[in-house]
Each structure stands twice: as structure tokens, then as C-alpha cells.
Chain A
Amino acid sequence: MTGHMKKNNALKINNEHVSSWSHDRASSANMATEDLPSDFDIVILGTGLAESVVAAACSRVGQRVLHLDRRSYYAANWASFTFNGLLTWIQEQNEEPKPEEVRDWSGLTEEGEELIHLSQADSASITNLQVFSYASEEEEEEEEAANTTEEEKAADEDAVKESSETESADSKEEEEEEEGAGEEEEQPAQAEGEEPEADQPRPSPSGQLEPSRKKISYTQLVKEGRRFNIDLVSKILFSRGSLVDLLIKSNVSRYAEFKNVTRILTYRHGNIEQVPCSRADVFASRQLSVVEKRKLMRFLTSCVEETEEQTAYHGRPYLEFLRDQQLGDNLQHFLLHSIAMVAEDTPTEEGLASTRHFLRSLGRYGNTPFLFPVYGLGEIPQCFCRMSAVFGGIYCLRHSVHCLIVDRDANRCTAVIDSRGQRISCSHVVMEISYLDRSKVATPSKFLSRAVLITDSSVLPSESNQQISMVTVPPEGESPAVKMVELSPSSMTCIPGTYLVHLTCRSVGSAHQDLSPLVTRMFRTTESQEEDRRPSVLWSLYFNMADGTASQVEGQPLPSNVHICHGPDSALGHEDAVQQAASIFQSILPEEEFCPPAPNPEDIVYDGDNTSTGEDRGDMGQDDEQNPEQNQENRNQNQENQNQENPDPEQNQNQGNPELQSVGPEERPSSS
């Protein structure tokens, strides 16, 4: 269980510094006018995690992949946004979807073909959006700063107004917020003290001045908004989960960096407590007696292997099994809610499986079983997209497909018509479920409730302000179990002086109904007396997102070569998406290996003497073997990929050289 990193765990865990890898979303090149090739093996719609993994896997084994997303950003509902980007996203979500124009594409079809129209907007997966701002507005500003403030403030006010229109019950909340803001204004000294710092990106004012409470203003959030990376879904990676295995196996890990989740906390009896899970935690824990320590360690060691005693409890609740282990309330709570993270009535075998999953991941990279990607979760789908691009996949954002062309007799999709009206033939189509016409999709029956908070301090302050915490909140009465992830600026997802808190639970009511009671208990949302040590919420966002596992295709079955990916699921890890991608890949290419390790750039042979590659794929550097200089050049280009820059304009997009390509939009979505 020694914690230091082994070389073969080839994942970049960066707990010290963060490289300055440019984080701009893959920008589009000015090649908008060029037509796409008219023949692909696989067309993929949507850049969510599962779709991106399929894209990488298919390109890797030589399939010609066209990967499109009608949005202007990568990763669909798996995306991460800057603060300003998120405000734009919120605005977009609140806009009424445009009526979908139906155009006649019959000119592009042939005898025996029929069309399946696709949806041009995703209007069902995000609902109940509500925004609250508690940060001071900071009236007295320098001129240049003031301009931006007002602009953004307006945007925010719009958002708030809209939410209050839909949810009148929240007006009280609003008033409180205004009160809070009002009180804030009565402390101009504080605001002034902050001002000189405002122009400097760091160090944060809160870190330098009085350590207690130093408010960050809304202006500051907007001004430094680019340093936020706010995830729409909140998940973390199990160190031995299928996503980490896949990242390592496929070498996609070279595009990302990770940080350890540093501690696991739980909310119990109104307090935040640290959950001892590793050997070092148990040793250091102050809340456990030595006997509890022994019992916990013994339980954790013993449950790694299946015993007859465990088998006897199959089908009976895990809680019952735990109770019979004579562990005591403390340990029972930790084991059920924070380690297995299951409900009280979960059957024992399932509870044990979750516990084992947790324990297997423990100690691989650090003291907890979890990793979090630096710059946010939205990085991961992009990493797979990049791998796909390196192997020839072609990418277009703000570009979609109007309809599928289906061969009536074979019941197979033979081509698609893209949003430019081009017919593109293909042998398989993979799409995110929201691309299906709404008449074909059942209204999502299950939702996730999400809350995103920007706070001013940690829920459990410690010596280090670099903590990334996973917090489990057990169910209480009617309210469901909540998983909370608190990110510190070290994860490069928020600015110094703030914490980014993600809350997720299965929906019972709206996200606000489900989560705001917990938020008001754990955080300060109003100005209260001084001894209140809870973190203050500066800004919060609530919304519901469709639970991918519950979405179903209705009506006529789709052609057999059309594969559907549902969106993010409610689980903490990424098992579901990886599983989906693997099974789609398996059904498309049953003979091929799923994401074999990508070769090192220096092992790639660029000679064109192979007959099959020369013609339709890259013919660049045909005599590379004799031309080491050019070979070297290729390598350099390959390394440049890591910067996700615009592709070299000299490169033809059809060339098969391993270069990230992104193709610009022809028509911009009207929403932006």
C-alpha cells in the first residue's frame, strides 16, 4: 500500500504544479468553405465522452471517422466552461428552441431510400435552470473594469429574472440575496482594499489580507472568469476504474494531467468529518478509537476477498451485514455512505462490490481512490477527440446532420445529409441520444439534480488550501444521498480565493428543491453573525440534467448500424460511458482491438510504399526513411498537437499525417 507512484501507472499525476498547456477550446480553422469528403466509415454525432471514445477507438484502427457536434464547444453535457462561458451557456439554455425547419432533401436520396430526420437542438436534457449571485457587485470601480462589470451584471440579472419567472417560489430566496448584497455594500472599506489587487491575476487578495473573510466580488469572478473550468457533470475517476485503465492502455493519458482527490469527507450530524480510508488516514484519524481503527482495518482487509460469511448475506441489505460485523455506528456510517456509497437497502453483494471497487483504487496514486483531471472533466472527451484526430479523424463543431438516409430493404443507414446539405456516405452512425427526433425519444424519466457553487472557503479548512475533497452526504428522510466534490484552485478550475463546489443527486423535485436545503445548511447564503464559520456562497447555479441511464429510444427500432449513446449517468465514476463505447465499438468492429496503445511518434513509419495507404490516405513524406529530417519534422508537429493549436495551414486536411484537425463551421448556430 505504499503510496509512491510506480512508473507503469503511466498517468500524469501532477500534485505540484500545473503546466501551461493552452486551454482554449480547439479553435476552428478558416477552411470553412471547403467541402468535407463524401465518404466515411463512421459518422459520429456529439462529442460527449462515449462518442469521443468510440471516435478514438475507430480512428486508431484505421477507420475514417467524421466527428460532428452541433454545439460550439466540445464534450456536450460533459463539458467544462469558463465562468463567462457558463453564463453564455445558461443564456442559451434559457432561449426558446427555434422551430425546426423541415427542408426537402429528397433530391439527395435514391430509389429505395428513406430519411430519418434528426433533431437540431437538445432541448430536453437540461431543465430547471436557476442562478443566484451573492457576491458583492462592487459599484465603485475603475473605469475600464466598470464597463465589463455592467455588461456581465446585466447578463446575470437576466438569468436570475428568468429563473424567478419560472419558479415563483424562489422569490424569497431572491430577496435574501438582495439583502445580502445590500449589506455588502455597507462595507466599502473592504471593497476598496481589494481593488488594487484586481488588476493582478494573482496572488489572491484573500490569501494575503486578513485570513478570515475577504469577499470576492462578482466583478472579479467575471474578470477572472477564464480561469474557471466549471463542469456540467460532476464525476471523478476511480484510480483503477475502467476510464483510467483505458487512458493508460490507449496512451490517451499523454494529453491530460490529473490530481489526486486528497480527502474524503462526510456530512454527519451537521458536521463535516474526514473519512479515514487509507492506512495512513486510519493511523492519523483522531475521531476513531484504537479499537475502531483495528476493526475498520480488519474489515477493509477482509472484504477484499469473498468469504462464506459474505455469501450468506447475499440478497440481504448491506447495512444488515455491516451491523452484524459489530463495527459500531461510526464505522458503519463511513463504510456504507462514504466507501461503498450505496443505500441502506442495497444488497450485500452489491455493497461489497462497491467497497472492493473503492479499495482496489485506493493507494494507486495517492491516499484516496480518486483522481480529478486538471482543468476539469471536459478535458477527457477532448483528449479522446484529439487521439482520434491524430489518427485521421475529422472534426467539425457547429456542424450537424439533418437526416439519415436509410436503405429500406437492408434497414441500414447508408449515408447522412449534413447541415450544409452534403450527402456523406458511411457504414455506421454513432450519435448522442439528443440528436434523435424528439418523437423517437421518451421524455427522460429520471433526472440528476445539480448545483454548482462558487464559495469563498473550504467546508473543512485545513493546513493545506490545495485540497480536493469528495464529500458524501447520506440520505436523510426524503432527501436523497448527495455527492459533493469541492475543488480548490490547485485543480485549475477556479480562481485563488475561491472553491468550486459541485453537488449531485438523483432528482426528487427540481435541483433547487433537492439541493438548496443542504446548501443553506452547509454554507452561508446570507450575511449572518460573525461566529458563523461556514463558507459563503458567492454564486450558485442549479439545474437538472437527464440521467442518461434512463433514456430510451421509442417507436420503430433504428437501423442496425445506428448506435446510440446516452448522456452522463448518475454514478460517480465513468464506468458507464466506457462500457457503452466499448460495446458500440465491439458491434461495429468485432474483430478489432479496442483502443490498443498508440505508438510512440518515433515508431511510426511514414513511408508510402505500402500500396493501400498511398492512395486515399496520407502520402506525405513518401521517402521518409531516407529523409530523417522530414521525419523529425513530423515528430515536432506531433508534439505541437499537444497545444491544440490551429492546424498548420499548409497541411491538407485529408492527409493522413497524425495531426489534430478541426474544420471550421459553415453556418454558425443562430443562438450564438
Chain B
Amino acid sequence: MHGRVKVKTTAQQEEEKRKEREKKLKVYVAARDACFSKRKDGVFDDEALQLTQQLLSANPDFATLWNYRREILTHLETVKDEDEAQKIYEAELSFLESCLKVNPKSYGSWHHRGWVSARLPRPDWARELSLCDRCLSLDDRNFHCWDYRRTVVKMSGVPVKQELDFTDRLIGSNFSNYSSWHYRSTLLPLLHPGSPEPPPSRCGGDPPHSCSPPSPQTHFHRVCEEQLLKEYELVQNAFFTDPNDQSAWFYYRWLLGRAEREEMISCAYVSREQERVAVAFSRPVNAQSGGLLLVLDGQPQRVEWRSVHPHFKHSPVWICDLPPGTISDVANEHNLTVHWTEKHTHRDCALYTGRSESWCRDTATDLELFRSELSVEKTSVLQSELQSVNQLQELEPLNKWCLLTIILLMRALDPLGYEKETLAHFQTLKEVDSMRSAYYSDLCSKFMIENTILKMEYAEVRVFSISDRNLTTLCHLDQLLLVTHINLSSNQLRRLPPQFAMLQCLEVVEADNNSIENLEGVYHLPKLEEVSLKNNKISTLADLQPLASCPKLRRLDLRGNPVTQTANVESELAELLPSVADLLL
């Protein structure tokens, strides 16, 4: 057809582009080589500044050149007066702006900007802040910019309120922005600090131990309740609008809080027969680093503390052996005190005449033990939160975030009362989010163990029985220091982990019908007499090696394990475990 506008063909365009690129490359390589040789010669002149600028505007990720540039600038600073330096650095800032336009996520550019801003004789922080505003409005998840913003805010003392309003704006325009939510979580405690709660009255009764005042860290992340309620409303708006957006849920979890347990000695146990003291702490510690002092009848003792298993440098349970003969006479009464000097806390324990063992501890209530997951003090607040999340669950029955949050809220409110619902929700979770079913199983195991511990505490017995609950993992074993009988039968356990060695009073283990193949944790248990491991997956004699460390073991049931098929198993076992009299294969 006539009159048509003629356009270059694709091949022509390609060729032109190729030539252009070649030309550019030549220039680039030449400039780069010139820069390198100048740097080698220690030249710090304006020309070098020019050259690096030319190269960096083409490729802002050339770290060596930024370094060279900083060398030049520091040199120039020494030869110029302040006004000139100010000018040079201001020019540097506007050059950096053009680099950020090329690549807004360039490590080199942002780092250099931070460096320049810090050296600028008269910094213009307002300008820097507005640069951050602009960058974040273009890409609200540019973490380089977030980092830089925090630096600017810190250097220039921007009011916290202003920054909080900034997060309001960003969240308002797009709440799928964890950076903003997280920033909020660091600002709120500064702006609306929570009033420190009175120390919980957990040290009633005897023996009295000193309640150290709550450390500032404990309450550092607290936010006052009035503000908290507003935040709940905000975040609910987000997860009701889009329940699949995880950033809101994470923030919600933070709001609900995570109490830090008071650091204390939760239990001290003394056994006359073993002449041994075991101490349990509220969190894993390293007792070897010092700070733990044992006083027996007013006399400080030189003892060697060791963790229950060589795997642990930090452990919630530590044991020590007293010098032979110190407490072995049943006719004597002894008073023990364990001092944790670091934390200014201690625990007393009296071993009365005629008693073979004694312990002292707080009656563990559910509140202290496990509600630490969520720290909102007020049940009414949790109750209303549960209500609204339940409302969401009715609308979105298969939303995993929602289900998980319900479980957490239920546990914080009444772990035993909600046990049935919790289990049902876990079942749904495993179905809707099968990729994480193992995580949910472990979490569920943890909660079941917690519940069983509570039940045991209420019953005031030393028997821990949790059979047929689909356990996949064991935890909270430090709470079972005093347990003598444990029944773990018919679960899905694959090992008795090193933590199992914390069960210092254990006499009988029943762990039939699991998938146990590893017994690492049955290690130096001084009182262990019976181990039943029917129908597990112990396959080699080496797997049974840890049992050899238990001096009193006399009955072992290995029926239904592959190891029973090993040649000469009986004689091998007799050699490995000479104390076992009653061996069932």
C-alpha cells in the first residue's frame, strides 16, 4: 500500500542497539582502567571523582569504585574548608539520587549515602527523610531504604509520633507490608509505654525466696492497654480484609505478646542415696560460668556442676555430686541453699531425718508455666479477641492463620478446658496446610505435654502418663525432674532426646509402640530400673549403648524391635548391660 510510514526492521534496530552497546562498553572499560590505575598511583583528584561518577552512574553496584570515591572525598575534606566540603558532599548527595533512580536497591549507593550524610558538615535531615518518603512510596518494601530511614531518624531525632504516623500512612495504602508493621512494633513501646505491672505474688508460702524486682527488659516491649486496644482494632481490620496476608497476623501475634518468664531457680532436689543435688532453672543457663553457689548447713561447698547430658552447654537442669559421706547418714538433717548470685536469687531445701530425698519448688501453675506464649494480662481482653477471631473463622473456616491464632488464644485462656477444640483445630490445620503438618504435630505434642503436666500437678503425683496422643516430639522435660514413672506408649516418637536425661528421678520408662530408634537421652539416669520399648525401631546394639550408663537398670523389654534379630543378641546384651537381669526379646 502506498503512503505507508516506513519503519526500520527489527534486524536494523537490533544492529543499531548492538553497536550502541559495543560503543558503551568500550567507554566503560577505558574509564574503569583509568580509575584503577589512578587509584594505584594514589591520585585523589577531581578527575578521578569525575571518572568514578561516570562509571557509577552506569553501574552503581561497583563497590570498589565507591571505596575509591570515599578515599578521594576524605582526602578532599582535608584540603578544603568547610563550605567547600559542604558543597562537595551536597553534590555527592544529588549524584547518589541519580544512582538510586538507576537501581533503588543498590547496596553500594545506600551505604555511600549513609556515609556522606554522616560526614556532611551541615546535614539536611529533612531532605533525607523526604527522600526516604519518596522511595518508600514507590516501593514500600525497599529494605535498604528502611534501614537508611532508621539511621536518618536516629541521627536527626525525628519525633516517634511522626514516624508512627508515617507507618499509619504506609499501612493505610497497603497493609501487606511487614516492614511498616514491624517498625510500628518498635515505635509503640516508646510512645505508649506500658506501666510496669506489680510483681506477681508467686512467692507466697514457704520457703520465701527473694523476688527480684522485674528487670527493665521484661517490660521494655510493653504497650499501654489503651493503645493496645486501638492496635487490636487496626490489625483486625487488616486480617478481616485479607486473612491470607501474613504480615498482619505476625503483628497481631506480637501484640498479644510474649511474656518473658522471671529468671529463677524453679526447683532444687537432693537425693541422700546418690549424694547428689539437681537444680532446675526457669530457662536454660550455663551454671559452669559461675554464679551458682551451694551452701550445705551453712558451709559453702566446692562442687562441680554439670549439665545432664554432654550435649548441653546451656541447660535448664544442672546436677552436682556432694563429697562422699556428707549427707549419707539418714539420722542427720541437712539444710541446703542454692544461690544464683548473678540473679540475686536462691532456693532453700531441707532434707529431714529419715528421708531419702527432698525437694523444694513452687507449685507450677499453668499461668506461670505455659501461658507465657501470650502475655496479655487481662482475660477479658483475650476473651474478646478470641470472640472476634472465632467470628472470622466462621467466615473463613479453612484459614490457617486464623486457626493457629485461635489455638494460641484458647491456650492462653484455658488450656485444659479447650483441649478438645484445640485438637480438632490442629487436625484441620494439618489438612489445609499439609506442607507444615510436621510443625503442627510438634506444636500439638507440646501442648499435649503441657496439659499432661498440668493434670499431673493438680493430682500431685510423680507419674507422667501420656499415651496414645500422637506425640511426635518431647519437650518441657525440665518440668519432669521429679517424675519417677513415665508412660509414653503408643505415640509417634522417634527418639528419646538428650533432654530426656533431665528426668533425674526416673525409675520406670514405658515407651512401647512408638518408632523409637535412638535412646541418646537415657543417659546416666541414676534410679532407672525398668525400660519397656516393645515394638519400636531399635535396630543395632550400638543404639542401646546409652542404657549402659544407667547403673540400676535391671529390666529391659525389646520385643518387636529389629535388634532382636541380630546374631548373638543375648550374649552381646549381657556383655553390654550386665545389670539387666530381666531381658525380654
Contacts and interface: CB of A to CB of B under 8 A. Distances in A.
Nearest to B395: A294
Contacts of A280: 172-175
Interface in B146-196: 171-176
B6 A605 contact: yes
Given A4-B138, A4-B139, A294 B392 contact: yes
B6 A294 contact: no
A62 B236 contact: no
A607 B6 CA distance: 9
Contacts of B139: 4
Contacts of B5: 62, 391, 599, 604, 656, 658
A603 interface: yes
Contacts of A63: 3
Interface string A298-333: 100000000000000000000000000000000000
B6 A293 contact: no
Contacts of B173: 3, 280
A291 interface: yes
Contact of B396 (A294, A603, A656): A294
Contacts of B395: 291, 294-295, 298
B13 interface: yes
Nearest to A5: B138
B388 A283 contact: no
Interface in A390-404: 391-392
A18 interface: no
Given A280-B173, A283-B172, A293 B4 contact: no
Interface string B231-274: 00000111011110000000000000000000000000000000
Interface in A588-641: 599, 603-607, 610, 612-613, 616-617
A604 B6 CA distance: 6
Contacts of A3: 173-174
B8 interface: yes
Nearest to B139: A4
Interface residues of B, number: 29
Interface in A410-467: none
Nearest to B171: A283
B237 A283 contact: yes
Contact of B175 (A283, A294, A391): A283
A283 B180 CA distance: 15
Interface in A377-397: 391-392
Most chain A CB atoms below 10 A, which of B1, B139, B238: B1
Contact of B13 (A2, A603, A613): A603
B497 to A, nearest CB: 42
Contact of A616 (B3, B171, B242, B396): B3
B7 interface: yes
Nearest to B394: A291
A297 interface: yes
A4 B172 CA distance: 14
Given A62-B3, A294-B392, A605 B8 contact: yes
B549 interface: no
Given A290-B240, A294-B392, A2 B174 contact: yes
Contacts of A606: 6
A282 B241 contact: yes
Interface in B5-36: 5-8, 13
A604 B238 contact: no
Interface in B372-428: 388, 391-392, 395-396
Contact of A297 (B2, B3, B241): B241
Given A279-B242, A280-B173, A291-B240, A617 B396 contact: no
Interface residues of A, number: 34
A61 interface: yes
Given A283-B175, A613-B2, A291 B7 contact: no
A302 to B, nearest CB: 12
A64 interface: yes
B8 A613 contact: no
Nearest to B137: A4
Given A603-B8, A613-B4, A658-B5, A297 B172 contact: no
A209 interface: no
A61 B172 contact: no
Nearest to B172: A284
A361 B359 CA distance: 71
A616 B174 contact: no
Given A2-B174, A290-B236, A283 B241 contact: yes
Contacts of B175: 279-280, 283
A618 to B, nearest CB: 9
A257 B176 CA distance: 30
Contacts of A616: 2-3
A612 B2 contact: yes
Contacts of B240: 290-291, 293-294, 297
Nearest to A297: B241
B585 to A, nearest CB: 60
A295 B242 CA distance: 10
Nearest to A64: B3
A605 B388 CA distance: 67
A283 B238 contact: yes
A3 B395 CA distance: 27
B134 to A, nearest CB: 11
A498 B462 CA distance: 82
Contacts of B241: 279, 282-283, 293-294, 297
Nearest to A286: B237
A293 B175 CA distance: 14
A488 B178 CA distance: 34
A561 to B, nearest CB: 18
A656 B3 contact: yes
B6 A613 contact: yes
B187 to A, nearest CB: 20
Contacts of B6: 604-607, 610, 613
B237 A290 contact: yes
Contacts of A290: 236-237, 240, 388, 391-392
Interface in A642-664: 656, 658
A334 to B, nearest CB: 15
Nearest to B138: A4
Interface in B121-145: 138-139
A295 B8 CA distance: 54
B72 to A, nearest CB: 35
A506 to B, nearest CB: 35
A656 B241 CA distance: 57
Interface string A1-29: 01110000000000000000000000000
Contacts of A617: 2-3
B393 to A, nearest CB: 11
A208 to B, nearest CB: 24
A106 B453 CA distance: 110
A664 B330 CA distance: 124
Most chain B CB atoms below 10 A, which of A290, A293, A613: A290
A2 B237 CA distance: 18
Nearest to A603: B8
A62 B240 CA distance: 56
A326 B540 CA distance: 63
A4 B173 CA distance: 11
Contact of B1 (A62, A599, A603): A62
30 contacts: A2-B174, A2-B176, A3-B174, A62-B2, A279-B174, A279-B175, A279-B241, A279-B242, A282-B241, A283-B237, A283-B241, A284-B172, A284-B237, A290-B236, A291-B240, A291-B391, A291-B395, A295-B395, A297-B242, A391-B5, A599-B7, A603-B8, A603-B13, A604-B8, A605-B8, A606-B6, A612-B2, A616-B2, A656-B3, A658-B5
Given A62-B2, A603-B13, A610-B6, 13 more contacts: A4-B139, A61-B1, A62-B1, A64-B3, A284-B237, A294-B240, A298-B395, A392-B3, A605-B6, A613-B2, A613-B6, A656-B5, A658-B5
Q: Which 6 A-B pairs rank lowest in CB-CB distance, beginning with the nearest?
A: A62-B4, A290-B240, A605-B6, A612-B2, A599-B7, A62-B3
